[in-house]
Amino acid sequence: MSDRTALSAAVDRLAGRLRSLPQRKLQGGAAAQGLELARWLAAQAEALEFPDREPHLMPNDGMFVVGDQLAVAGHELAAALDAVGPERAAAVTAEAREKVAAAAHRIG
């Protein structure tokens, strides 16, 4: 399994976890952590695709869609990694995998 495939799989698992959490757990910080990660992933993807402009901030569309936002951002980053050199892609992928793993640990 490639690093990017592993990243996509980890993002999908965490997104599924966020989608299945009860409201109290989402309100207790899980949604905020998921959104923070989704925003970081989206910013990385946008920076790779459009290096000459400031990335947009992913909106907070509510705690019940944060899993979907995370999944979209993760897949956008995976696609953007295909367009950059292997060294840059490896560095961003490694950092993204670390952030996803840390968020999954915190969210539970």
Distances (CA, A) of 81 to 1, 6, 20, 26, 56: 16, 13, 29, 30, 18
First to last CA, the chain: 24
Q: Which residue did the predictor score with more confidence, 27 or 108?
A: 27
In the 8-state DSSP scheme, what is residue 21? Answer: S
Q: What is the pLDDT of residue 70?
A: 98
Q: Which two tokens stand for residue 28?
A: 């207790």
Quote the CA–CA distance of 107 and 22 in Å, as a whole number: 12
* Residue ranges per structural domain of the chain: 3-107
pLDDT tens digits for range 47-103? 999 999 999 999 999 999 999 999 999 999 999 998 899 999 999 999 999 999 999
Q: In the Cβ-directed half-sphere of 105, how many Cα atoms lie within 13 Å?
A: 6
Band of the pLDDT at 4, cuts 50, 70, 90?
confident
